[in-house]
Amino acid sequence: MSIAQEAARRRTFAVIAHPDAGKSTLTEALALHAHIISEAGATHGKAGRKATVSDWMDMEKDRGISIASSALQFEYAPEDHEGEPYMINLVDTPGHADFSEDTYRVLTAVDAAVMLIDAAKGLEPQTLKLFRVCKARGLPIITVINKWDRVGREPLELVDEIVNEIGLQPTPLYWPVGEAGDFRGLAHVTEDGEVDGYVHFTRTAGGSTIAPEEHYSPDAAEAKEEDVWETAVEEAELLALDGAVHDQELFESCETSPLIFASAMLNFGVHQILDTLCAIAPAPRPRDSDPKAVAVSTSAMDETRDLDDAFSGVVFKVQAGMDKKHRDTLAFMRVVSGEFDRGMQVTHAQSDRSFSTKYALTVFGRTRDTVDSAFPGDIVGLVNAGSLAPGDTIYDGRKVQFKPMPQFAPEHFRTLRAKSLGKYKQFRKALEQLDAEGVVQILRNDLRGDASPVMAAVGPMQFEVMQARMENEYNVETVTEPVPYSVARRTDEESAAELGRQRGVEVFTRSDGELIALFGDKWKLAFIEREHPNLTMEPLVADD
């Protein structure tokens, strides 16, 4: 097949939601329906159950939450599908707000998002944030109301909440038959808003295997389910009359969101989610270069990288410690254009240095398989990629450089030092690696020295991850201490000297060379802004 044909069968998406909405459970259920695993691990080690295969970190298994994003790749062919199966690149992301920076990075590397909403809780704070980020990035969203097997809210109430809170119109494709807690099956809704069939599910023991399905015509469904079926049809038709029908153009422009009800725990509605992704989620598309890089380039640079151009890829995540036996570093790369061949020599755009791709893998949780070739949309793990950082571009042929990865404003700060002076060398090595991964932002200055840098994080749980990984992966026990700061601002060399003389302010250099000033609180910042209006004190915000 040509590169364009290979790209056309790729579906690359992220699963995003509030904590405990069932992201990792759905990830595993999707893999089960693609016959990649034979039995689902249920929820994340809760109540004595097994952890999901996508949660590979010990801390994730202990706490039952996803801390790091996990990339899974598998083939899937819907029923009656002709030709080559689809290649699914699925990224399970952390839901906890403390790890939202990792989730936002993932959203720069996918073509669509599956947003899970808890049937009982509806839109929660982190869900709202993620919806808005997706809309800002122009990322099409498929909405899944999960946990419909449990007592929850009315389906029309949930639809109204989505419309009112974020201005996104859900368009039902599979509407629930049976209220929340009495999930019998799904009514299929056509693009014209008509209900043309019923999928009835049968529970399996613990939901660990694929739930059997029976398909009924509307008349047969009415005879089987009676009033429950009539209610489902009436609700679906009511939404259709209000204009809530699927339109591909509106979906891709993020004005509407196809809606599916499911129970990831029981494997109800899971293959309908996969089928929908294959049918309507966008395939990979050309990507524009970073305008700033093009403007300062001393040589010719592609302004847009088409799918069939020479190979290019963007790194969206760097992760060490996934395999304790090898102590290697994996850079997760999204292929943007061309064909990637293992062993090819490529160029690192940020440094103009040659980079070897001898060791390239597809990753399923902790399971690794060597990949010999990949195409636009695929996610590949490059081994021993210590020179790569999130946001970096690698390419072959004519130069290209994609937009850098956004940095996020930290709100929590602590110092970090090794318990034992004898571990200083290991401490420095671990600090350099985990800083490159973006576990936390590392801030340094001459006063504190390299032995006691300041960690800056979006959420305090990032500090726990930092310490746990220091100990487990590098055998370095660490101590953290609070610092009297709560606000960060970007500054410049001219302003740094004056800011450094102010009480309650300390200036640091971040690893990317940016000067960062930390202030005791927002009132201290406001006072200095008023007294020294000419000083540079810019908010640290993501470039959406």
160 is in an annotated binding site: no
Radius of gyration (C-alpha) of the chain in whole angstroms: 25
pLDDT at 55: 43
Quote the CA–CA distance of 329 and 388 in Å, as a whole number. Answer: 10
Query: What are the start-end ranges of the E strands in 2-66?
Result: 10-17
94 is in an annotated binding site: yes
Buried b (16+ CB within 10 A) or exposed e, 125-160: ebbebbbebbbeeebbbbbbbbbbbeebbebeebbe
Find the angle CA(226)-CA(229)-CA(234) to the nearest 5 degrees. Answer: 125
Quote the CA–CA distance of 74 and 76 in Å, as a whole number. Answer: 7
Q: Which CATH class is domain 287-395?
A: mainly beta
Give the residues across from 198 on adjacent strands.
187, 216
- Better pLDDT: 260 or 471: 260
pLDDT at 384: 76
Quote the CA–CA distance of 357 and 330 in Å, as a whole number. Answer: 12
Tokens of 66: 């996803």
Q: How many CB atoms lie within 10 A of CB 325?
A: 5
- CATH 3.40.50.300 assigned to 3-280: yes
User: What would the mean pLDDT of 286-306 be, rounded to a whole number?
Assistant: 88
Q: Work out the burial of residue 190: count CB atoms within 10 Å of its CB; fewer than 13 is exposed, 13-18 middle, 19 or more buried.
A: middle
Overall residue count recorded for the chain in this entry:
544
Please state the φ and ψ torsions of residue 17, each to the nearest 5 degrees. 180, 180
Quote the CA–CA distance of 136 and 114 in Å, as a whole number. Answer: 16
- Better pLDDT: 386 or 218: 218
pLDDT higher than threshold 90 for residue 108: no
Cα distances from 251 to residues 119, 143, 156, 257, 426, in angstroms, run: 22, 11, 20, 6, 50
pLDDT-wise least confident of 97-106, 241-250, 366-375? 97-106
The predicted-structure confidence for 125-152, as pLDDT tens digits, reads as follows: 877 877 777 887 889 999 999 999 999 9
What is the band of 296 on the pLDDT scale with cuts at 50, 70, 90?
Answer: confident
Tokens of 235: 């609700």
Contact 320, 437 (CB under 8 A): yes
The predicted-structure confidence for 14-36, as pLDDT tens digits, reads as follows: 888 877 888 878 888 888 888 77
pLDDT higher than threshold 80 for residue 54: no
pLDDT higher than threshold 50 for residue 50: no
What is the band of 100 on the pLDDT scale with cuts at 50, 70, 90?
Answer: low
CATH topology of domain 412-539: Alpha-Beta Plaits (3.30.70)
pLDDT at 212: 93
Q: Where in the chain is the domain with CATH 3.40.50.300?
A: 3-280
pLDDT at 468: 85
The predicted-structure confidence for 496-508, as pLDDT tens digits, reads as follows: 999 999 999 999 9
284 is in an annotated binding site: no
pLDDT at 86: 96
Tokens of 236: 């679906």
453 is in an annotated binding site: no
96 is in an annotated binding site: yes
The predicted-structure confidence for 335-380, as pLDDT tens digits, reads as follows: 999 999 999 999 999 999 998 898 888 766 566 788 899 999 999 9
End-to-end CA distance of the chain: 35
Cα distances from 96 to residues 16, 19, 20, 141, 390, in angstroms, run: 10, 5, 9, 20, 20
pLDDT at 461: 80
pLDDT higher than threshold 50 for residue 111: yes
Q: Where in the chain is the domain with CATH 2.40.30.10?
A: 287-395
Helix (H), strand (E) at residue 514: none
What is the band of 46 on the pLDDT scale with cuts at 50, 70, 90?
Answer: very low
Contact 9, 87 (CB under 8 A): yes
pLDDT higher than threshold 90 for residue 173: yes
pLDDT higher than threshold 60 for residue 99: no
- Better pLDDT: 460 or 368: 460
Our measurement of the distance from residue 372's CA atom to the centroid of its chain's CA atoms, rounded to an integer in Å, reads: 25
Helix (H), strand (E) at residue 113: strand 112-118
Q: Where in the chain is the domain with CATH 3.30.70.3280?
A: 412-539
pLDDT at 397: 94
pLDDT-wise least confident of 58-62, 175-179, 208-212, 488-492? 58-62
